[in-house]
Amino acid sequence: MQIPASNLVGRFLEWFGNIGIFFANVVRSGITPPYEWRELVRQLDEVGAKSLPLVALAGAAVGVVISLEARYSLSRFGAKSLFPATLVYSVIQVMGPIITGLVVSGRVGAGIGAELASMKVTEQIDAIEASAVNPYRLLAAPRILACILMMPLLTVAADACGLLTGWVAQAMVEPLSFQQFIESGFRGATFNAFVPPTFKTAVYGLIIGLIACFQGMRTTGGAEGVGRAATNSVVLGSLFLILADVVLVKFILVVFP
């Protein structure tokens, strides 16, 4: 049975309206005391420390791939001297942030969505509300804030691993000291070249945490709903993350030329 286009548009707008209301409730609850510091620290560890190995591995793999591709492409055009700068700019400005966002979306987004969804279907969230505890303050706000705070740090870790493995891959083929690699790669670098692409990942964290919490806390349908919430958290989080990257790249180019 085919769903009319008008119904699809209506559902799309309804979803955006609901997530906007959800975000407003989270902000209002999060900025008013009492603050859930203990839960925030636990979520910082869950999002940051437990995601670090996977993010570092992904960054290292990206560094090797870019190193191999860049060396081959630059050799064809006689521009091998540009290899360090090409690797540095490619990893820090482009691949590092987006790869980190997608990895965290897959791990953290699915985890938050499934955890909150299971709490919803087993009526634990209803029990929290019955205990006069605001679930937005206790459950959603710490998770979203943890994603926002940890994403730039995880991006720096992914960038560092990518640059290190990229240099190792190049040094195994042609002699190149790490000092020479760093000096050549960052020669002429400015604040605008590297800092904005790193801190734009805080927006990725907002998207990942917000969508995962929203999908989890509105779940219905038992075990099937839990699986659906986890899947939707990853799919929608990754999709909106990529769309946000397009907007943020243009914004950075305009504001930080």
Say if pTM beats, i.e. exceeds, 0.85: yes
**Of residues 63, 85, 84, 83, the one with CA closest to residue 71:** 83
Average pLDDT over residues 219-242: 90
**For residue 236, is pLDDT > 70?**
yes
Average pLDDT over residues 194-207: 92
**For residue 194, is pLDDT > 50?**
yes
Q: 200 is written with which tokens?
A: 């734009």
**Of residues 189, 30, 10, 162, the one with CA closest to residue 91:** 162
The whole domain housing 66 covers 5-255
pLDDT in tens, 69-105: 888 887 777 777 788 888 888 899 889 999 999 999 9
Distance CA 134, CA 208 (A): 21
* Residues 101/245, Cβ–Cβ less than 8 Å: yes
Q: 144 is written with which tokens?
A: 């979203």
Query: Would you state the pLDDT for residue 79?
Result: 75
Distance CA 255, CA 67 (A): 30
Residue 10 burial (10 A CB sphere; 0-12, 13-18, 19+): exposed
Percent of the chain at pLDDT > 90 equals 55
Domain tally, the chain: 1
**Of residues 207, 99, 206, 118, the one with CA closest to residue 161:** 99
pLDDT in tens, 218-229: 888 888 889 899
Which amino acid belongs to residue 178?
Answer: F
